[in-house]
Amino acid sequence: ESQLNPNYSFENFLEGDSNRLARSAGLAVAAKPGGTSFNPLLVFGGVGLGKTHLAHAIGVDIKDKYPEKTVLYISAEKFTQQYIDAVKKNNRNDFIHFYQIIDVLIIDDVQFLSGKTGTQDVFFHIFNHLHQNGKQVILTSDKAPVDMQDIEQRLLSRFKWGLSAELQNPDFETRVSILKNKLYRDGVEMPEDIIDYVAKNIKSNVRELEGAIISLIAQSSFNKKEITIDLARIIVEKFVKNTKREVSIDYIQKVVSDYFQMDIDTLQSKTRKRHIVQARQLAMFFAKKFTKASLASIGSQIGKRDHATVLHACKTVDNLSSTDKQFRKYVEDITKKLSI
């Protein structure tokens, strides 16, 4: 049993700038599993951006092209559970052997392995065996390898061997085509302006985008109401309210620089003046705390720094807020400003 969902196909995975690299890497892997330098292929990105869908699509496509290959999809959570059960039943070796003879192993949400040293250890051995034998490994994660915490270094370094491809928030056009494709597949007609309205207002999660449309269709057929912009507004609002709003890195930079009465260019500048460095470090710290952006992406948006600088900034802020009273007040004040 491959555990693959045939509905999660490449055909149904709409292409856009936000997913082009990951999607085409997936296609390349599916054409030649184990035969490209994308091994492992690691797909990372935020919630609801299509990691699970894409992981299945690769598996489904491989099964299609190479029916003789064994393909297995499993979530890291289930993998961990299986491993714990195997250890309890004294079947550790059988467990390892089972995974070592698979041709294509797809593990979803590897961030779940954080802190689970036993499972990481066994996965390390399985991974090495598969990789040495030219078998394909496909992983997904909510973070880039550089941002993963509590994963052993030797495993992280293997995650970086192949290709890490990010799924970003889809742009407006991609959101519209995803909605249209969904409606088409469900055989539902929907006025263009309603589709536009939903796509305009739900930006950062494809699952919510689809959820809003499904609930709109349900509402209208249930209450025999026509689908109007007003109905769309009510439903979209519910979806947007239910999801915690994420502050943007731009907004954080604005709040921090306003707080210290400097402009954003100063905050981002190369100067080593202490109060400016501290303001910049605070902006990085809050970006890490309040957004899902990777360290690399935070660094590039806050004055074109690298991920190590951001990591250092976060540690410095942590240290200073526990040793320096004035600094702790900065952190508290800015936290309040960002929370409203």
Binding-site sequence positions for ATP: 48, 50-52
Residue 104's SS3 state is strand
Q: What is the smallest separation between the CB atom of 294 and ligand ADP, expressed in angstroms?
A: 15
- Residue 203 binds to ligand ADP (criterion: CB under 6 A): no
Q: Which is nearer to ligand ADP, 49 or 165 (CB)?
A: 49
For residue 156, the tally of other CB atoms under 10 A from its CB is 14
- In angstroms, what is the minimal distance from the CB of 59 to ligand ADP? 13
Contacting Mg ion (CB under 5 A), which of 2, 19, 39, 52? 52
Residue 19 near ligand ADP by CB under 6 A: yes
Residue 41 CA: distances (Å) to CA of 32, 48, 158, 332, 338: 12, 19, 11, 41, 36
For residue 240, the minimal CB distance to ligand ADP (Å) is: 17
41: left (phi > 0), else alpha (psi -120 to 50), else beta?
Answer: beta
Long-range contacts at 151-160 (CB < 8 A, ≥ 24 apart): 151/110, 151/113, 151/114, 151/120, 152/117, 152/120, 152/121, 152/124, 154/124, 155/113, 155/120, 155/123, 155/124, 155/127, 158/40, 158/124, 158/127, 158/128, 158/131, 159/40, 159/42, 159/110
Residue choice 26, 30, 40, 52 for contact with ligand ADP (CB under 6 A): 52
Applying CB under 6 A, among 40, 48, 59, 299 the residue interacting with ligand ADP is 48
Stretches 10-18, 97-105, 188-196, 262-270: which one binds ligand ADP (CB under 6 A)? 10-18
Element of type H or E holding 138: strand 136-141
Task: State in angstroms the smallest separation of the CB of 214 from ligand ADP.
Answer: 10
Count the site residues for Mg ion by CB under 5 A. 2
Binding residue for ligand ADP, selected from 49, 107, 202, 232, defined by CB under 6 A: 49
CB nearer to ligand ADP: give 291 or 309.
Answer: 291
Distance CA(104)–CA(122), nearest Å, equals 17
Question: Residue 51 or 63: which CB sits closer to Mg ion?
Answer: 51
- What three-state secondary structure class fits 93? helix
Binding stretches for Mg ion (CB under 5 A): 51-52
Binding stretches for ligand ADP (CB under 6 A): 12-14, 19, 45, 47-53, 178, 206-207, 210
